[in-house]
Amino acid sequence: MKIKITTKQIAIIAIFAALYTVLRMLQTIPMIGVEGGKFSLSDVIAPIYGILLGPYVGGASVVLGSFLAIAMGRPVTFLFLDFLPALVNTVALGFLMRGKWWPVVALNSVLLVTFILNPLTTIFITIGEVSIPFFWLHIVAFVVLVSPLGHKAGSWVKTLKPTKLAVGLTVLALVGTMMQHLMGNILTEAVMGYIVPTMTPAAFNGMWSIVFFTYPWERLILIVLAVVVGIPLVRGLAKTTFFRQDTPTPPTKVENKT
C-alpha cells in the first residue's frame, strides 16, 4: 500500500509532536524496576493520538515527540527505544478506528505470546494457596479485543453520542494501554535481561512479583484519564481538519447531466 503524506499532515505531525514532547517531559510516578524510569503524561494521550490522527500521522507524532523529548533532556531508559510502547498503543487504535481489526489481533497475539514465552517472565504469582497468572489483565484485554466490543468500539466513537463515545473510548483505551504495557515489559526484559544485562532472572522474578500488584491500578488510572481527556477532545476535533488526517477522502460523485 502506497502512503502519501501531504503538507497539511506534516504540519499536523509537527503540532502534535510538540504537544507530545511537552507532556513527555512532565514525569509522574517512577517505573518499578527501571532505574531512572518514570511514567509521563504523554502516556495518557497515546491512545487519543491513534483515535484522532490514525496509525500513520499519530504514530509519526509519537515517534518524533519522543525523540524531541530526549533531545530536551528526557532520560533514555531503553537504548532510544522508549517510543515503542506508546507507538504500539497509537498504531493499534489507529487501525481499529479504520476498521482494520485483524492486524491488531495479530500484533496483540504476538506481543502476548512473546512475553509469556520469555524465560524472564514470571508466569504465576502465588497469593496464599492461589496461583494467578501475572498477565491476567492482558488476557482480559485480548478477550475484549476479539469480542464484538473490539469490533464495534471504533464505530461507537465515530457516532459522537455521549454514551457510545464513552464506552468506545473505554474499550479502545483498555486494548491500547494493555498492548503498550506488554511492549514495555518485553522491552524491559530484552534490554535489561539480554542486550545490556543488569538484572538476573531472580531479580526479574522479584520485580514482576511487585509489578503484579501495581500494574492493574496504573493501567486503570491511564484508561480513566484517557477517557476523561478523550471525550471532549474527540467531540471538539471530530468536525475539524484535525480528525483522522491520514484517512483518504473518498472521491465525490459527479452527476452526469448530459
User: The domain spanning residue 121 has which CATH number?
Assistant: 1.10.1760
Distance CA 153, CA 111 (A): 21
pLDDT number for residue 31:
65
Q: Say if 258 falls within a structural domain.
A: no
Q: Say if 125 falls within a structural domain.
A: yes
Spell out the alpha helix ranges (H) of 72-161: 84-97, 101-117, 136-146, 148-159
Report pTM: 0.88
Q: Say if 67 falls within a structural domain.
A: yes
Distance CA 186, CA 191 (A): 9
Q: Are strands 124-127 and 130-133 parallel, antiparallel or unpaired?
A: antiparallel
The domain tally of the chain equals 1
Q: Say if 206 falls within a structural domain.
A: yes
Low-confidence ranges of the chain (pLDDT < 50): 244-258
Do 66 and 80 touch, CB atoms closer than 8 A? no
pLDDT number for residue 192:
92
Beta bridge partners of 125: 132
pLDDT number for residue 27:
77
Note down the domain range covering 130: 7-237
Distance CA 224, CA 137 (A): 16
Q: Say if 98 falls within a structural domain.
A: yes
pLDDT number for residue 38:
67
Please state, as a whole number, how many other Cβ atoms lie within 10 Å of the Cβ of residue 18.
14
pLDDT number for residue 32:
63
Give every CB contact of residue 134 below 8 A, 6+ residues apart in sequence. 121, 122, 123, 124, 125, 208, 212
Kindly state the cell numbers that stand for 146.
Answer: 476479539
